Structure 1
Amino acid sequence: MKHIIYLFTRYFHDVIIALEAILANKMKSMLTALGIMFGVAAVISMLAIGKGAQQEVLEQIKLVGVNNIIVSPTETSLSSAESGTTGSGGNVRRYSPGLTLQDAEAIESAIPTVSKVSPVISLNYHAVLEGRSYPVALEGVSATYFELLNVNLVNGSVFSEQQSEGGLPVCVIGDNIKNRFFSTEDPIGKHIKCGDTWLEVIGLIERRDFTASASDEMGISSTDNKIFVPVKTMLLRFNDRARINPEVLESVARGGDGGNNSEASVVTATHQLDKIIVQVEATEHLSATADIVKRMLLRRHSDIYDFEVTVPELLLKQQQKTNDIFNIVLGAIASISLVVGGIGIMNIMLASVWERIREIGTRQAIGASRKDIIVQFLAESTLISVSGGMIGIILGVIMARLINVMADIQTVVSLFSVLVAFGVSATVGIVFGYIPAKRAANQDPVESLRH
């Protein structure tokens, strides 16, 4: 402790002299620190962009659910010419029913690595209550849907097994629906009309921050403007697109009847479901399970590829990896500014040594040691770089905010990036200030006084 106090009192005067020299040459000191300022600002803003991108990906993973596979339909026209199979009656057409509830049940029961499955049926409807009509997205889902996509309820409960299997008229509503129809009362137990069906509200979903890009890239959307009903309620009481399949099958069965043997008639697959969400027990099984799901559905759909299997989490992690590489490159480029700023400090300090050579000689003549001279010039360069770093931190935070507002790019300034920028700026001052300080300390006092 005594040694520390001694060092502080011994060299404190040298630091004061360095500070006075900086204040006496404000413009030169400010210009010297410019490189550090913009270097630190660039590093902070680039790290903020990287952190923002990482946070956005994590939010998207939360929105699409962890370890989820999404099976979505594709519009595929099925014709006799596409089948490539012939028989005694000419071309034999293959038929696919599209995505059905039976597909979802088969995936859940037959694949051991699958933990939960939820079919999804989406329709646009108008909700009506007391003469007020409001457009809503009506979705038929299973009770596990809310757990699969991390959707939390603030009140009430999800569908019970009896409500799901019986197709009862119950629903869980989003926050916007609550605010529109039940702004001053508890919606649980109340009824709301969709089409010709009155639905009892049994649950309320919490309001959820939503990343718009997730909708574009992963096919998901906010729950705030949705009404969720059991999937069998949707099929029984609203719309079951599979009901048209007998007509399509009859059209296929007629084959070339009607004098059109030479032309292949076209049949379009009708999908009962808009999506099947499959949750895998462990991340390492995602790719293998996705492949098994694809092969199973191909067999069930007569080898007709009228669906698409995607693994959002793997896609998002690949996107995060790309973002990380991009941000490392941006950070490295921004760090060059710090090196340039450090070289600028070294050049200015070397020039300052020659400008103040008489001052150095005078200090040495009155008893200053070489360590005193080193501390003085080292403190001067460090103070300049640290001051520039502090101003750069402020500029970096402002730049990150401007990028967020003007370019609509999510940015997050972390304490880590601020500490790194401040530490680097101090290190630059010490490293690039040592050579000028050493040069000043090695001056011959007699020669210095002759100048």
Structure 2
Amino acid sequence: MTTRIKYLISRYYHDVLIAMEAILANKLKSFLTALGIMFGVAAVISMLAIGRGAQQEVLEQIKLVGVNNIIVTPSEMAVDGGNGSGSGESTKRFSPGLTLLDARSIRETIPSVAKVSPVVSLNYHAILGARSYPVVLEGVSPEYFELLNINLVAGTIFGEQQAEAGKPVAVIGDNIRNRFFNTEDPVGKYIKCGETWLKVVGVIERRDFTASASDELGISSTDNKIIVPVKTMLLRFKDRARINPEVLEQVSRGGGNTQENNNTNQSKDQLDKIIVQVDETEFLSSTANIIKRMLLRRHSRIYDFEVTVPELLLKQQQKTNDIFNIVLGAIASISLIVGGIGIMNIMLASVWERIREIGTRQAIGASRKDIIVQFLSESTLISVSGGMIGIVLGVVMAHLIHVMAGIETIVTLFSVVVAFGVSATVGIVFGYLPAKRAAEQDPVESLRA
């Protein structure tokens, strides 16, 4: 096998050298011929980089919202869920809104549910010494950290006993630590939020997230949050389910049932969100339907809540992105085909321009294989050279897209190998016809031309 390879190299080495000399002798023509391949390869690499970046962004969003999670949120508009009883009946019914009892019922009733965390969010100012900083105070269960894959860099999360007792303990985000505890370990220290002093038991690692994830899926960074047990939030800060003295006063004056009062009052929902994790992905849709029916029954047949499955939405988005990326890749690949056609046209024209050279080589003993190897090597070298330049251009384009358009791009070795392989294949495929045409020339007719 080795001997055969050595023979082929020695046999056609001179033909390849002639092809290289022809390329160097016509630098401008060779460069213009390779332009189509350059831009084709660059387009393929940049498009694949955009597709890979979009895929990675979806995976990061899935990580942020958690795997197999279902999110229940209050709805801004209550809709009658009765059996055709009319739109007016929903105004006569009372719904308690999203409550802690809803979260407990979901956990205890549905077998496919693995973990549940209620979420209450309020805007506060954290105070320590003379420093004040606006924060998001969030009340959750200990399972919240596992549901959303939140890791700590120091300390621990609060335990079940602390959560059940409503202890004033907190886990703080990275911005809170940098703001108040930049030169010391915050674990074990106290920070004031509102009128309550909270003991810091843990610090969350910094998490990057995209604005699209925040807008579409209702998630946000933990860097600016102080996370406490949900019962601590309800007992020590605010419980929207409690009867408001101002409302009682309005009702006693006869104005409690007006639409104006309903618009000015704060949300009646005790919780801002319930995060539910299902055991298996296959149970996501069925569990979401069960949760919807259960809450509809608990809320007096009023749809004042929404049940969403972020993972399914993201997978649908990923599927859409994949289809879009295939279309982009196909469009980019067309430029490679156009570049290959350009190589074939130039090489066909080159055959007629160098007809006397072909006849001379055949007259002094060059075989048809020698002529084929010569012109095929020339087209392949042009294509491969264009492909190599196109790879560099594609990486630069991907970086510029990321910097100027803010679109995540990831250039992978796979995309580089594919683009380079396609460029070499284009040179061989589209260079074979001119090479074959050159080899079929009659030496006598070629010398007469």
TM score, norm. by length of structure 1:
0.93
Decide which of 328, 332, 349 is 1:334's aligned counterpart. 332
How large is the Cα RMSD of the aligned pairs?
A: 2.4
For 1:47 and 1:197, the matched residues in 2 are separated by 52
For 2:111 and 2:412, the matched residues in 1 are separated by 42
For 1:379 and 1:435, the matched residues in 2 are separated by 13
For 2:28 and 2:119, the matched residues in 1 are separated by 67
Q: Is the 8 A contact 1:290 1:311 kept in 2?
A: yes
1:135 is the counterpart of 2:134: yes
Q: Is the 8 A contact 1:248 1:267 kept in 2?
A: no
Judged with a 3 Å threshold, the aligned counterparts in structure 2 of structure 1 residues 183 and 214 are, in CA distance, closer, same or farther, namely same
Which residue type is aligned with residue 186 of structure 1?
D
Judged with a 3 Å threshold, the aligned counterparts in structure 2 of structure 1 residues 315 and 305 are, in CA distance, closer, same or farther, namely same
Q: Does the residue aligned with 2:76 lie in a helix, a strand or coil? A: coil
Shift of 1:155: 1.3
When structure 1 is superposed on structure 2, of 241-250 and 172-181 the one drifting more is: 241-250
What is aligned with 2:312? 314
Shift of 1:353: 0.4
For 2:386 and 2:157, the matched residues in 1 are separated by 57
Q: Is the 8 A contact 1:81 1:264 kept in 2?
A: no
What is aligned with 1:214? 213
Shift of 1:260: 11
What is aligned with 2:448? 450
For 1:34 and 1:232, the matched residues in 2 are separated by 67
| TM-superposition CA deviations, 1:339-366 (whole Å, max 9, x none) | 1111110010011001001111111111
1:5 is the counterpart of 2:1: no
For 2:210 and 2:131, the matched residues in 1 are separated by 29
Q: Does the residue aligned with 1:368 lie in a helix, a strand or coil? A: coil
For 1:87-236, list aligned pairs within 5 A. Answer: 93-236=92-235
Q: Is the 8 A contact 1:77 1:267 kept in 2?
A: no
Q: Is the 8 A contact 2:142 2:159 kept in 1?
A: yes
For 1:270-285, list aligned pairs within 5 A. Answer: 270-285=268-283
Q: Does the residue aligned with 2:243 lie in a helix, a strand or coil? A: helix
Q: Is the 8 A contact 1:122 1:139 kept in 2?
A: yes
For 1:376-415, list aligned pairs within 5 A. Answer: 376-415=374-413
Decide which of 337, 360, 371 is 2:358's aligned counterpart. 360
For 1:78 and 1:331, the matched residues in 2 are separated by 45
| TM-superposition CA deviations, 1:143-169 (whole Å, max 9, x none) | 000000000011111111110000000
Q: Is the 8 A contact 2:255 2:261 kept in 1?
A: no
For 1:241 and 1:318, the matched residues in 2 are separated by 36
Shift of 1:76: 3.6
Q: Does the residue aligned with 1:243 lie in a helix, a strand or coil? A: coil
For 1:229-248, list aligned pairs within 5 A. Answer: 229-244=228-243
Which residue type is aligned with residue 48 of structure 2?
L
Shift of 1:9: 1.1
Q: Does the residue aligned with 1:186 lie in a helix, a strand or coil? A: coil
For 1:310 and 1:229, the matched residues in 2 are separated by 25
Q: Is the 8 A contact 1:70 1:309 kept in 2?
A: yes
Shift of 1:200: 0.6
Shift of 1:93: 2.1
Shift of 1:77: 6.2
Shift of 1:246: 9.2
The total of aligned residue pairs comes to 441
For 1:331 and 1:106, the matched residues in 2 are separated by 49
What is aligned with 1:295? 293
For 2:260 and 2:43, the matched residues in 1 are separated by 62
Q: Does the residue aligned with 1:305 lie in a helix, a strand or coil? A: strand
What is aligned with 1:28? 29
For 1:76 and 1:444, the matched residues in 2 are separated by 85
Shift of 1:266: 7.5
Judged with a 3 Å threshold, the aligned counterparts in structure 2 of structure 1 residues 60 and 225 are, in CA distance, closer, same or farther, namely same
Q: Does the residue aligned with 2:120 lie in a helix, a strand or coil? A: strand
Shift of 1:75: 2.6
For 2:254 and 2:215, the matched residues in 1 are separated by 45
Q: Is the 8 A contact 1:78 1:266 kept in 2?
A: no
